[in-house]
Chains A and B, each alone.
Chain A
């Protein structure tokens, strides 16, 4: 267990490509941080820099009170769960878990006790003598977890550990990983491209885009006050509606409709979450419905406002819907972003 402290860390490849722009952050003891972003955003690179699998171009990385920039991965007191599990195919489950301990000079008894404990925790006990090739995907995933747990590392690293599992198993493992991490009270960094995983698991989320950290915050902060149009559209399903609008006087104009809301004059991007919109006969914004997606408990209404794509998420009341509807929303549901930079205003 340890804190992680990162100062101006960056990664530039020899060909000049900047994979990670200078970033600074701290991770508290026992905290679970999720790095989320589209593929190629640098989240895995950042994680691998912490692991020591990628060189750090500039900056300082501390785990606990040590600067670990130039330490080998094995010396950083970390454990990592890989996307494809990376189990040693020629070793049994027990040996896979024991290998890292053995190399750190643990005695036979210590190893046996640790492996046993981890196996119980992950219900792997009956599988200890099997080879990885004889396990299902979910079981392999557990072994990879076990291999990390037995080591009692200062820091857990997860690199998209659930992306190879089917939806049901993914949900189950999500809960399990979170529980384990809480129980062991270990600091963890978790990389995923799945915003649902990020929202459900994280103490804090780091949203990355094009090698930069766009926003750091708790899941509800990220959801309620996204720092940019990128964060707004990446987090949340279906994503936040973003429409071009104009600030005039103390009003925001969307096409012909006006909403009174403090706003500087000029072009803005207006963000509204689909679930914060209601259908109302007294609504202010006309909505042209084109398609209804039934989700059971709710419906997604696809259509246009002022000629721009717009989605509404509304409770399913089985009512027949006309093609032309009116929308209403509270003023606190409005997010304003700079039309050019995408930054929150």
Chain B
């Protein structure tokens, strides 16, 4: 009996990643330009105009304080949006059947979409960081932690996007989670403030928000300031990756939303 070799899996995986990257580069005007414009507006309005009146936060100018959160916000949104829209549109056009009838194992399908989404998230993160340098100085406290958080956050939200797309039956369904779940979690995840400013109760609530750990750890990597223990934050990110991966792979093996 023949079985799929590592070489075969690598070819299938790299084909899928190449296809995903080609997709978001082909429609760059929709995928790469808007986040840059959005983040520039955040820097101008919140960082520059309002930030000057706020002064310092956790020992840094307000502009410097919000840069990591804004960069990560762009990363999260794009990693999620890439997978949810790509996977769902393939489901909608039924071109996902190209993959489903092929011998590509489910975990390779999952890895291909997640890496494709993470690639867009990371690319946007790099572009957003370059834009940020025009508004604030360059800071890098710990590049290892910064990159680890960047990659893990992209993966977590790419997995989230995949799960959303698996369940989605119509285009409305892929907008519900970003609008009603993702955006509130990002805004309440400490992008614009330190949770030390919140009452005790809301500080406790913030700890069940996964985005809080990402923003806090990412800010630590760049500025060296944090509201929580960094090892704990990274461990929480890994837990989210494991939980979401396990859930997504079960859905793929069951064929939920894909096979009759």
Q: Do A and B come from one complex?
A: no
Give A contacts to B, CB under 8 Å. Answer: none
